[in-house]
Amino acid sequence: MAHKERLAELRKLLKEAQELEIASPDLAQQILIQTLNGAEEMRQKAGKEMQRLQHQMGEVEGKMKAADLLSDLVVNIVGAYNTQERKRRQEDKELRSIEGGGEGGEDDEGQSSAAEE
């Protein structure tokens, strides 16, 4: 039952209680006012809690996006280093083939100098 429907039912029951002389008009009015005030207080608390949770959700979403960006950055950096190293090795290979026809001794030197870098 929706909130408005419950209040309508409460009003109906309080009116019936007055007719049956179970409750005075003052008591019926107090019950209705307390019910409305309590409902409004709970609604306000729920609204504040909802705002707090939405704020937290925004923070979490921001952290998730930052983590995604960081992982993308790491992937791009590693990929760039790999590309750079493949290019350097290809250039070294081409240089060795121009200089000495690709003899074994020059390969060893090229590998040791690459390890020193």
More confident residue, 53 or 27: 53
Residue 81 has pLDDT above 50, yes or no: yes
pTM of whole model > 0.85?
A: no
For the chain, the domain total comes to 1
pLDDT at residue 1, as a whole number: 64
Residue 117 has pLDDT above 90, yes or no: no
Taken as a whole, the chain contains a residue count of 117
Angle formed by the axes of helices 25-100 and 3-19, nearest 10°:
170
Average pLDDT over residues 29-56: 93
Taking the CB of residue 28, how many other CB atoms lie within 10 A of it? 19
Give the confidence band of 106 by pLDDT, cuts at 50, 70, 90: very low
20 three-class SS: coil
Helix-, strand-, coil-residue percentages of the chain, each rounded to 5: 90, 0, 10
pLDDT at residue 113, as a whole number: 44
CA distances from 39 to 27, 30, 45, 102, 105 (A): 18, 14, 10, 87, 88
More confident residue, 86 or 10: 86
- From CA 109, how far away is CA 117, in angstroms rounded? 13
Residue 21 has pLDDT above 70, yes or no: yes
Domain that holds residue 110: 3-116
